[in-house]
Structure 1
Amino acid sequence: MPEVESLLLGGTANRGLVVRVGDTVRRPLRSSGPAVHALLQHLERVGFSAGSSGAPNFLGVDEQGREVLSYLPGETVTAPYPAWSMTDEALDSVAHLLKRYHEAVRGFAGDDLPWAEPVPAAYAEGLVSHNDPNLDNIVFRDGVAVALIDFDLAGPGSALWDVATAIRLWAPLRPDPDIGDPRRGRTLTRLRRFADAYDLTEPDRLRLVDAAAENHVWCMDYVRRGAESGHPWFHQRWTTGEAELTTRTNHWFSTHRTALQEALLR
């Protein structure tokens, strides 16, 4: 019997190309594949990818040239966002998962591997960060974050850069009128809560707002370049409001910097 392939939803770069086959996931193999596979194998060795939690295991390459990963059961957060995903408890669990990942990845030497997208030099501090802990890149079970997936943008970075990425997306850090879910009006509270749940140090709290603002520029530049290269999903995203939202959010960071910093330190 031929293997049954079920399309997995979510994502942008690989939308429509990621499938589940039994207890495995098949994804397009990228030029950064050897680096990501080495990272996943490290996470498995140190016990972060234990059972069906932490991160997927790299299982090889199939006859169609796709990477094969273990399937992690659970839910990812895609629009319309379920109520449980917007709770403070879910937010805390994301911070705790990210902290565990950073503890697991310390000691992994990845400087000479072919990573996909370099982060700004100021935030490359000797740790391979995930770089894309978006809502649909975290697996939940019973409302608790249990695993990171989609390591395509992983590479030499820092814990601070990952926290900035996560907090920008999960707080979220953007103008209130552009938040169309229960998080509206709670940006400062959720910003502080995530930093506390992660147990972020005071020196990193002092750098976090600027890191989040730079992360937004970095991420949106990646989307813009994807759109300009003709990638259909990046083009759709960029031309149906993302460009305008980027401009509004950049301005919002500049005008709310003091309030954001005060929320982190008081």
Structure 2
Amino acid sequence: MRGDDEREVQLQGGTTNHGRVVRVGDTVRRPLRPSSPATHALLEHLERVGFPGAPRFLGIDDHGREVLSYVPGTAVTPPHPSWALTDEALVSVAHLLRDYHRAVAGLDPRPHPWPASPPPDFAGELVSHNDVNLDNVVFRGGRAVALIDFDLASPGSRVWDVACAVRLWAPLRPDRHIDDARRGRALRRLRLFADAYGLEDGDRDRLAAAVRANHEWCYDVVTTAAANGHAAFARYWWAGGASRRAADTHQWYLESAGLLRDALS
């Protein structure tokens, strides 16, 4: 019989590997992917440079799963707690992302088999996380302390990651699709995130275009997976109403590009 430190406990959150990520003691076990060697090289780099805000890669277990260190804290999963939607939490996410970019800047991505990179206009600067969703950020004491789930990480850019994060955390979408305390505050939170990150003027000028491109890129990942038979993504896209929200948000980006740029100036 397994002891308590060997019992597998399924972890909540995530869509790609839904139901397949478990905690065993102080470790997390996840399925391997064709790009896993790249992810492991990224995590090993972050460990070497002393970045504390990511899991450590510990090896492969007897079941062929990657073994990562467990990051203590709380990931923001539905129903989203009110503290995670505050401006203070938003600022801490911006600071964490800035610190990650500083830590990863010295990694040479060329030897590794990465997933698909962002569009060429937003790729090649550094290895971006590419999925700074709410449930991929770990908090302790109301402050963001770690990024998890680096499955989509690939050569991208700072502005691309900022676009991904602020699109989801502000959030940048029509108010009718925001049903919490952030409603009516998206543009102010966009400016707050960019300021807290310290986004440079050139990237501020590109951020509105990056947000729209990131929205299209991310939903291409979702629809491709759904079309290829991924049940969780298919449920999310069709039964979960994501297809309608995505279309509404795309139109909002077209109509609101000037508002996004003005909010950042």
The offset of 1:193, in angstroms, is 0.3
Choose from 39, 44, 53 the match for 1:41: 44
The offset of 1:247, in angstroms, is 0.9
Instruction: Tell me the equivalent position of 1:262.
Output: 262
Instruction: Tell me the equivalent position of 1:141.
Output: 140
Q: Give the whole-Å Cα distance in 2 for the aligned partners of 1:149 and 1:42.
A: 15
Gaps of 5+ in 1: none
Instruction: Tell me the equivalent position of 2:19.
Output: 16
Percent identical: 60
Q: Give the whole-Å Cα distance in 2 for the aligned partners of 1:42 and 1:68.
A: 16
Q: Give the whole-Å Cα distance in 1 for the aligned partners of 2:174 and 2:124.
A: 30
Q: Give the whole-Å Cα distance in 2 for the aligned partners of 1:59 and 1:237.
A: 32
Q: Give the whole-Å Cα distance in 2 for the aligned partners of 1:70 and 1:165.
A: 25
The offset of 1:125, in angstroms, is 2.9
Instruction: Tell me the equivalent position of 1:100.
Output: 99
- 8 A Cα contact 2:55 2:69, kept in partner: yes
Q: Give the whole-Å Cα distance in 1 for the aligned partners of 2:62 and 2:149.
A: 21
- 8 A Cα contact 1:60 1:67, kept in partner: yes
Q: Which amino acid aligns with 2:48?
A: R
Q: Give the whole-Å Cα distance in 2 for the aligned partners of 1:112 and 1:237.
A: 34
Gaps of 5+ in 2: none
Q: Give the whole-Å Cα distance in 2 for the aligned partners of 1:118 and 1:208.
A: 18
Is residue 198 of structure 2 the alignment partner of residue 196 of structure 1?
no
Q: Give the whole-Å Cα distance in 2 for the aligned partners of 1:101 and 1:136.
A: 17
Q: Give the whole-Å Cα distance in 2 for the aligned partners of 1:233 and 1:117.
A: 21
The offset of 1:112, in angstroms, is 3.1
Instruction: Tell me the equivalent position of 2:249.
Output: 249
Choose from 13, 17, 30 the match for 1:27: 30
Q: Give the whole-Å Cα distance in 2 for the aligned partners of 1:117 and 1:82.
A: 33
- 8 A Cα contact 1:111 1:156, kept in partner: no
The offset of 1:228, in angstroms, is 0.4
Instruction: Tell me the equivalent position of 1:229.
Output: 228
Cα displacement string for residues 193-239 of structure 1 (whole angstroms, at most 9, x for unaligned residues): 00000010111100000000000000001000010001010000111
Q: Give the whole-Å Cα distance in 2 for the aligned partners of 1:111 and 1:214.
A: 24
SS at match of 1:20: strand
SS at match of 2:139: strand
What number of residue pairs does the alignment pair up? Answer: 261
Q: Which amino acid aligns with 2:23?
A: R
Q: Give the whole-Å Cα distance in 2 for the aligned partners of 1:83 and 1:245.
A: 22
Q: Give the whole-Å Cα distance in 1 for the aligned partners of 2:17 and 2:120.
A: 27
Cα displacement string for residues 156-201 of structure 1 (whole angstroms, at most 9, x for unaligned residues): 0001100000010000011110011111100111000000000101
SS at match of 1:236: helix
Q: Which amino acid aligns with 1:248?
A: D
Q: Structure 1 stretches (4+) deviating beyond 6 angstroms?
A: none
Is residue 176 of structure 2 the alignment partner of residue 177 of structure 1?
yes
Q: Give the whole-Å Cα distance in 2 for the aligned partners of 1:169 and 1:111.
A: 29
* Superposed counterparts of 1:48-127, under 5 Å: 48-49=51-52, 54-127=53-126
The offset of 1:246, in angstroms, is 1.1
TM-score calculated relative to the size of structure 1: 0.97
Q: Give the whole-Å Cα distance in 2 for the aligned partners of 1:17 and 1:166.
A: 25
The offset of 1:111, in angstroms, is 2.4
Cα displacement string for residues 67-100 of structure 1 (whole angstroms, at most 9, x for unaligned residues): 0000000001111110100110000000000000
Q: Which amino acid aligns with 1:74?
A: G
Q: Give the whole-Å Cα distance in 2 for the aligned partners of 1:209 and 1:29.
A: 34
